[in-house]
C-alpha cells in the first residue's frame, strides 16, 4: 500500500482537493459536498490507495475525522462509501462528488 498526499480547501458546504497517484503519476481531483450541517476545518487530506490490476485501484481518504473510500474500476466507474454510498461514472481518476450527511 502506498499513499499520495494532497491538498484540500473549502467550507462547511463543499470541499475540493487534489492528489497525485504516486504509482501511476495521475493527478486526481475530488469534490465533497455536505448539507451544511457538518463543519470541516482541515488543511490537507491524505489519499491512500491499494494497488490492484491495471483496471482497478482502491483509495481511501481521511479528511479530519471523516474517512471515505472509493474504487476506480475499468477506468471510469467510481464507487464510494460514506454514510450514504453513491456510485458515479466519471473519467478515470476524475472528479468525485458525494454528499456528506
Per-residue pLDDT of the chain (101 residues; tens, 9 = 90+): 344 555 555 554 555 555 555 566 655 555 554 444 443 333 345 555 555 555 556 666 665 566 666 665 544 444 554 444 443 433 333 334 443 33
Segments forming the whole domain that contains residue 13: 2-100
Do residues 82 and 98 lie in contact, with contact meaning Cβ atoms separated by under 8 Å? yes
Give pTM, 2 decimals: 0.38
Residues in the chain: 101
Task: Work out how many domains the chain is built from and give that number.
Answer: 1
Contact 42/100 with Cβ under 8 angstroms?
A: no
Long-range contacts of 8-13 (CB under 8 A, 24+ apart): 8/42, 8/43, 8/44, 8/45, 8/63, 10/40, 11/40, 12/36, 12/37, 12/38, 12/39, 12/40
Dist CA 26 CA 12 (whole Å): 28
Amino acid at each position: 500500500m502506498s499513499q499520495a498526499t494532497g491538498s484540500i480547501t473549502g467550507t462547511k458546504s463543499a470541499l475540493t482537493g487534489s492528489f497525485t497517484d504516486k504509482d501511476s503519476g495521475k493527478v486526481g481531483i475530488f469534490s465533497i459536498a455536505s448539507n451544511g450541517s457538518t463543519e470541516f476545518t482541515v488543511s490537507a487530506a491524505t489519499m491512500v490507495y491499494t494497488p490492484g490490476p491495471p483496471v482497478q485501484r482502491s483509495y481511501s481518504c481521511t479528511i479530519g475525522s471523516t474517512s471515505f473510500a472509493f474504487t476506480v474500476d475499468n477506468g471510469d466507474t467510481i464507487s464510494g462509501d460514506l454514510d450514504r454510498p453513491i456510485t458515479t461514472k466519471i473519467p478515470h481518476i476524475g472528479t468525485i462528488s458525494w454528499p456528506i450527511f
